[in-house]
Amino acid sequence: MGRGKRLALWIGGGAAVFVGVVALGVTLLFRDSATPVTREDVTVNLGSIDGVDGGGDVYTYETTGYETASALGGGRHDYPAETFLAVRAGECGPVHRWQALEERWDEMHVCDDGTLARVVSYHKWFGIAEENTYVCEAGARVFPEAGETSWSFDCVQEDVTTVSWTYEVVGPETLQIGGEAVETLHLVATESDVGRTIGTGTHHRWVLTDPYLVVKETVEITNTTDSIAGPVDYVEQYDLVLTALTPSE
């Protein structure tokens, strides 16, 4: 074999090795994970929720669902059979943090009068965490005033993305929760995202209003977010059912 051919083969083989090493490095650097949490984990994390110092309550939901993202070739997080809601005192009322995974949680800051101060959403994909806070306009509420059948409001993420919400009252419904008949109010909350994120979502919620508590929820969300790597498509679907009206022990 001539020297030129041997050199060409060596360069070709070296390039293949180099590409393989780079690919391995990218894979290791951006390794994705979906880590379930326990009730004990959530109890410890109560201290990380903004608001008044002190303890709180943890509720358990039977859960089915997942989220997907198209970034870096795509990823999927399947939610465990149990997820948790931590409720503790906040600045104007209870803070509700639903936690599906270490990499996924949502937080609602609900005032004592039922108004919604802000929503915080946390995602972690391929080792990259993103926490977004949406400040809600005056009049935002999580349940209706007397005689109200629908209402709308916006929550804004620092002029980056605006989420427009429309709530509609379906009506009272009785659910079986932990062998107990529970009177709930069925609401449908529809979101429309405009800005860096564009998309829609539908949330069927069965709630208690005094105090506010989500008893059952069915969610479908689809959106696309601009990023430095290009558009990222996101899908989330899940169903939650409270296992008991009393906090977990």
For 73, the domain range is 56-242
List C-alpha distances in Å: 218 to 36, 103, 170, 195, 199: 20, 20, 14, 25, 17
51 occurs within a structural domain: no
9 occurs within a structural domain: no
130 occurs within a structural domain: yes
3 occurs within a structural domain: no
CA distance 237 to 220: 5
Query: At residue 181, does pLDDT exceed 50?
Result: yes
Number of structural domains, the chain?
Answer: 1
Identify the pLDDT of residue 21. Answer: 39
126 occurs within a structural domain: yes
30 occurs within a structural domain: no
Instruction: Give residue-wise pLDDT tens across range 29-88.
Output: 568 999 999 988 887 666 555 544 456 899 999 999 999 999 888 899 999 999 999 998
**Confidence bin at 227 (pLDDT 50/70/90):** confident
Is residue 80 within 8 Å of 62, Cβ to Cβ?
no
Instruction: Give residue-wise pLDDT tens across range 110-150.
Output: 999 999 999 999 999 999 899 999 999 998 999 999 999 99
Identify the pLDDT of residue 2. Answer: 46
42 occurs within a structural domain: no
User: What's the one-letter identity of residue 169?
Assistant: V
Query: At residue 108, does pLDDT exceed 70?
Result: yes
191 occurs within a structural domain: yes
Q: What is the pTM of this model?
A: 0.84
List C-alpha distances in Å: 67 to 6, 27, 74, 105, 235: 49, 20, 11, 12, 6
